[in-house]
Structure 1
C-alpha cells in the first residue's frame, strides 16, 4: 500500500520552508518595498528588476487547460533535471536509501543518485529494450524509494509496454516516475490522464523537445497535489525566471506553431527510418516513438561517429551504454540536415 508520508524523509516532513517576499504578498501595488529589489529598474532588459512569481501561476493555468489537469498537480522547474534531483532528495536519505533504474536509460537519474549519496539498483531492460514479467517482479520486490521509467525511452526511443507499467504502478511501494520527455512524438496517451488512479505516479515532461525551447530550461512534473506540495516546499524560492515564464506563456498561446513543428519532426523521423536500412553500414534501425533514431552500425560504430564528426555532423555515440553496443543516436534534424546525414553515411569509406 502506497503511503506518501512514510516515503518522504522525516526531516523534510518536519521542515519549515523558506518564505519569500512574493510568497507573503501576491499581486501588484503602487509601492513595492518588500523584497530588496532595485526599484529604479534594471541595467539590462526592462521589466526584470522584480522577482518572478515563485509558483509560476500564469504558466500553470495555461498548462492545466492544455493538459487536462489542475494547476495544483503541476510543478515547474529548471529543466526536468531539477524535478529529478528534488524527487531523489524528497524521498531518499543519503547513505541509506536506494532508487531503481532500468538501463539503458537517461543518465541523469544515476547522476542525481550519486550526487545525493543514494544507492542505485539496476534491472536491465530486455534485449529489445522492453519490460517483461520478470522485470516487473523485480521492481515490485525492490525496497527502493522510487523507480524511473523513461517512456519513450532515451536512448532507445521506444515506449515501454503500458500493461507492465500499470502493474508496477499498482504494486510498487515507492514513487513511480514516468519520464515523458519525448511523449509528444508518441501515439500513446500521456500518463497524465491517469494521475487520479495512481497516487504514487509522477509524470515528467519538458519544453525542450517538441516545444523547441531547450534554451529556456523549463521542465514539468505532474503528480498528486500532495506530492507537488512537497516539491514546492523544497525547491529554491524563485527557481523559474520571469523571462522563462514569459516565453513559456507565449509558446502555450501559439499551439498551432507547436503542432506544425511536431508534425515536421515526425515526417523527418519517418523519412530517415525508411531510408537508413538501405545504407550498407546500417545493421539495424530500432523503432522510435521519439524525435531520434537509435541505429546499430557495422562493423564499428565509433569509426562511423568519428567520420561523421570529420564531416561536421555531430550525433551521439551510445555504444558504451548497456545493451547498445555498436549504436549511434541520430536526432531528427531539418530536411536539409537529414539529407546531409544520409548522404554522409552512404559515402562512409569503409
Structure 2
C-alpha cells in the first residue's frame, strides 16, 4: 500500500507558518545577542555543570543541536531524524495534532496499553478506537484491519507493552507497517530491557513509522522529562514546526548531555535490573496466591494475584507502592510491580510473604 504523507497531514498544518526565532535563522557563534528581549544582565541562580556556572538568563537552543548530536552518535541516526520533546507525551500530542482532524479522525490503541495515547486524543477531540490485545497480549491483526476506516490516521503500538511487559511480535508490527497507509507509532520506552532490537534502524524501510523512546527509564533521568521520537526527515520537520519554540529547557539539555556520557554505567544498570527481574519473578511465583507472573521485556512485572485489590491496600499500609491494574481490561486481578533495587525487592517479597488472606 502506497504511503502518502501529504494526504495525511491536516490542511491547517500544511498552511502553518511556524514560529521562528532569530536563533533559528542564525548559525555560528554570536558575541552580542540582542534579539529576544532577555535580561542581559544575568540571572539570580546558575546551573552548575562540571564545575562551570551556566547563567539562566538566555533562552535555550530551540533546536537542541548539541543534544541531538549526542543522541545521534549513540543511536546511529542522523540528527534530521530526531525529535526531542518534554517527555514522550509531547511527541504523542504533537503527532495527533499534525495528523488528526478534531471531531473527524480517529486513532487506534491496543489495550491494555499506555493511557496517554487516549488522553492526548481526548484533549484534541479525536476519537479512539480500541482493539484489545489477545490473551497473550499480542495484536489481533484481523481485528485491527477491520477497525481501520478512512478516518484512521494513527495506530499506537507499545512494545515492550505497558502494563503487560511483553514485546509485541515483530512480524505483526511489520504487517501493520506494510498494510496501513497511516502513521504507525511504536512506543519503545522500555526497549533497553528487551531482547528485541529497536525499530528505529528501519526508518528508511518504513516512511510511515515513528519510534518513541525516552531517557526516563533505563537512563535514569525521569526527572528531566526528555522524550525522543525517530522518524523520517519530513515527519520530524513537521513535528518541529508544531512544537513550542523552546520546548526543552537549558537545565534538561545540559544535564541530559552530561548523563549521555555514561553509556557503560547505564548498560551495567540494565544488566542488574534484568537479573533482579528474574529473581523477583521466581520469588513472586513461590507465593501461594500468585496465579501468574507474565513474561516481561521491561523493568516491571505484571502479576495476577488472588485478591489483588486487598494485597494492593496491604502493601500501601506497609509503605510499599505498586500499581493496581485490576480495573484495566485484560489485567483483572493484576498488580504491576516495578523492579527495584535488590534491597527494595527483598523488602517487597518479605512483606508479601507475611500477608495473610
TM range (shorter): over 0.9
Paired positions, count: 349
Distance (Å, rounded) in 2 between the aligned partners of 1:349 and 1:138: 47
Residue 23 of structure 1: SS of its match in structure 2?
coil
Cα distance change on mapping 1:139 and 1:64 into 2, 3 Å? farther
Give, in whole Å, the separation in 2 of the partners of 1:10 and 1:71. Answer: 27
Look up the SS of the partner of 1:211 in the other structure: coil
- Of 185, 191, 196, 1:188 maps to 196
1:76 to 69, 84, 97: 84
State the distance in 1 between where 2:317 and 2:291 align.
22
5+ residue gaps, structure 2? 47-53
Q: Secondary structure at the match of 1:177?
A: strand
SS in 2 for 1:309: helix
Task: Quote the offset at 1:50 in angstroms.
Answer: 1.0
On the 8 A contact 1:139/1:168 being kept in 2, the answer is no
Structure 1 unaligned segments of length 5 or more: list them. Answer: none
**Cα RMSD, aligned residues only:** 1.2
CA contact (8 A) 2:213 2:227 kept: yes
Q: Residue deviations 1:193-240, cap 9 Å, x none?
A: 111000000000000000000000000000000000000000000000
- State how far apart, in whole Å, the 2-side matches of 1:344 and 1:222 are: 42
Per-residue CA distance 1:53-77 (angstroms, 9 max, x = gap):
1111111111111111110000000
d(CA) in 2 for partners of 1:140 and 1:171? 11
Normalising by structure 2, we get a TM-score of 0.96
1:60 aligned onto 2:61: no
- Aligned partners of 1:283 and 1:265: how far apart in 2? 23
2:326 is aligned to 319
**What's the CA shift string for 1:247-289, capped at 9, x where partnerless?**
1111111111111111111111111012110011211000000
> Which of 194, 209, 212 is equivalent to 1:201?
209
Pair 1:169-2:177 in alignment: yes
Aligned residue in 1 for 2:31: 30
Contact 2:45 2:55 in 1 (8 A): no
| Deviation by residue 1:88-109 (Cα, 9 ceiling, x = unmatched) | 0000111111011010000000
1:242-257 alignment, distance < 5 Å: 242-257=250-265
- From 122, 125, 135, give the equivalent of 2:143: 135
Query: In the TM superposition, what whole-angstrom CA distance separates every residue of 1:153-201 from its partner, at most 9, and x where no partner exists?
Result: 0000000001111000001011000000000000111000111000000
Q: Aligned equivalents of 1:22 and 1:292: distance in 2?
A: 42
- The aligned counterpart of 2:103 is 95
The answer to which of 253-262 and 115-124 deviates more is 253-262
Aligned residue number for residue 230 of structure 1: 238
Q: Which runs of 4+ in 1 moved over 6 A?
A: none
| Correspondent of 1:154 among 154, 162, 168 | 162
* Corresponding residue to 1:179 among 171, 174, 187: 187
CA drift at 1:26: 3.6
